[in-house]
Structure 1
């Protein structure tokens, strides 16, 4: 696997300094390089549809809620701020993928729903995106899937432990 240039430089410097656990440092940099490559591919796949990852997430959430959702609910479910959701919704509305309207129960509140164009875009992109994600891990056996998931959980547990220790 190709490491990004910045990680190659850091790895070379770590080796020069004879830091312990060079193999662990390399694994970390491989993981970061892979995550960045996945992000870049994801962005490239979404761009022809006029979508960013944030817009894609909102379409996904709205597609699952035919009655629509309030912007604050979208923000909470997407894990972003209300201000971020407002910007994302503005873009989706300019592209005629969503519509905002007054909530029938509380006219002071807004409800966001997909337009027919938004629903069609969502279905097309979800299908393409699902195939792409499945393809990333498609050559792993079921056992390898389980092993990778276990290893990722172990590393995540180490991260949680180190974060707790550094904040103590």
Structure 2
């Protein structure tokens, strides 16, 4: 329980400190890309669209980048709110996937939705990632090994203005 509280507190602190506002476009440290390149037959485009596997929204109406990780088991009731940064939410879940696989899933979805990395962290066994857009859309994910096995994940997002 103490570990989960520490992860939640760390996520909130990092999310708040990493995002100075809608205009903040500070890139995160270089993180390995795990995105499929467009097919060679496709004409070149200024921005290549990445096709993502369909996934269920974390809550009804959540943006594509706030999808529920495949096979996730939701822990507790999601917190959903509508504020100055638009609708958003907070969700905790567990999965059998490794922490890095979970973070990579959300990184691909965020960047495919046009969000830019604003924070990346590896702290011991916990891995965190955050992204945002000038319009105020954000996502933060923290994944760490759970005491009972598997991975404990905290996902928070805002859809922006």
TM-score using structure 2 length:
0.25
Name the structure with the higher strand share: 2
Structure showing greater Rg: 1
Name the structure with the higher helix share: 1
Higher RCO, 1 or 2 (CA under 8 Å, sep at least 6)?
2
TM-score using structure 1 length:
0.25
